[in-house]
């Protein structure tokens, strides 16, 4: 049984069957942890055949090898005529290096919205718009900067202080509800929201955007300077455009 994050590589002279055509040649087959199957020959960068995130992948080895991948109504089947080799190797997302892990001293890398360690199970989700800093927290992890009303510097680990707590401490009840006499509370409901304290009698609520509060909209709510321009806390408001 392969490890959950392993990359499997098979090489040999093979028959490669797709729903449209059968190829034969000396190829390398790559099986990825997300059930993507790629069959490469020596010509260019594009695979001879592939299935992305197949519903199921079955492989057998008994002298030779075979691989069958099914995605919906599509099938990819590879049968070796001569098997040259097989390997299984650790795999991970390839990301931008941002320093060393304080727990195992292997590399920390950022891939998309996640910072993960290449040597242990440390994994940290990044809020939208977050930037990782060179500065380190006392725990040894890098810090990040993220804007939600103002710009906060926080550790990657929520155990050292969460974004929700920082925004709540700064902006909870800071703004009045435009629909009733209540105040807007900072709450987590799917996303980070400024929602009326009189819920459910008043269902007013707004997603707090990636940006810094820079004044007041004509409607009375705060305006935010975001990467996409200045906008009201209420994304549907057109009074301040």
Residue 186 lies in domain: 168-232
* pLDDT confidence of residue 62: 87
Nearest residue to 123 (alpha-carbon basis) of 112, 133, 108: 108
Whether 11 and 82 share a structural domain? yes
Give tens-digit pLDDT for 166-218: 999 999 999 999 999 999 999 998 889 999 999 999 999 999 999 999 999 99
* pLDDT confidence of residue 80: 97
Whether 45 and 109 share a structural domain? no
Give tens-digit pLDDT for 16-38: 999 999 999 999 999 999 999 99
In terms of pTM, does the model score above 0.75?
A: no
**Is there a domain that residue 240 lies in?**
no
Question: According to DSSP H, which parts of the chain are helical?
Answer: 163-171
pLDDT band at 240 (very low <50, low <70, confident <90, very high): low
Dihedral sign for Cα atoms in the order 117, 121, 127, 128: positive
How does strand 211-216 pair with strand 222-226?
A: antiparallel
Whether 21 and 68 share a structural domain? yes
* pLDDT confidence of residue 2: 45
> Is residue 10 within 8 Å of 85, Cβ to Cβ?
yes
| Domain end call among 121, 142, 161 | 161
Cα-flanking dihedrals φ and ψ of residue 167, to 5°? -70, -40
| Order of all β-strands in the sheet with 64-71 | 49-51, 37-40, 22-31, 6-17, 74-90, 64-71, 56-62
């Amino acid at each position: 049984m392969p490890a959950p994050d392993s990359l499997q590589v098979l090489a040999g002279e093979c028959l490669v069957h797709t729903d449209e055509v059968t190829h034969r040649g000396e190829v390398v087959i790559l099986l990825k942890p997300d059930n993507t199957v790629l069959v490469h020959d020596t010509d260019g960068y594009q695979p001879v055949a592939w299935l992305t995130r197949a519903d199921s992948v079955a492989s057998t080895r008994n002298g030779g090898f075979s691989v069958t991948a099914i995605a919906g109504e599509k099938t990819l089947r590879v049968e070796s005529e001569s098997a040259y080799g097989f390997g299984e190797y650790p795999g991970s997302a390839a990301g931008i290096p941002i320093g060393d892990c304080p727990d195992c001293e292997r590399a920390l890398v950022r891939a998309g919205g996640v910072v993960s360690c290449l040597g242990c199970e440390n994994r940290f989700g990044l809020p939208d718009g977050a930037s990782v800093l060179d500065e380190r927290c006392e725990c040894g992890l890098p810090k990040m900067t993220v804007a939600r009303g103002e710009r906060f510097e926080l550790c990657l680990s929520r155990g050292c202080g969460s974004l929700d707590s920082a925004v709540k401490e700064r902006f909870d009840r800071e703004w009045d509800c435009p629909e009733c006499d209540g105040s807007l509370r900072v709450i987590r409901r799917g996303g980070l929201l400024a929602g009326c304290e009189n819920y459910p009698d008043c269902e007013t609520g707004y997603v707090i955007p990636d940006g810094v509060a820079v004044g007041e909209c004509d409607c009375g709510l705060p305006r935010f300077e975001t990467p996409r321009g200045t906008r009201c806390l209420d994304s549907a408001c057109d009074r301040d455009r």
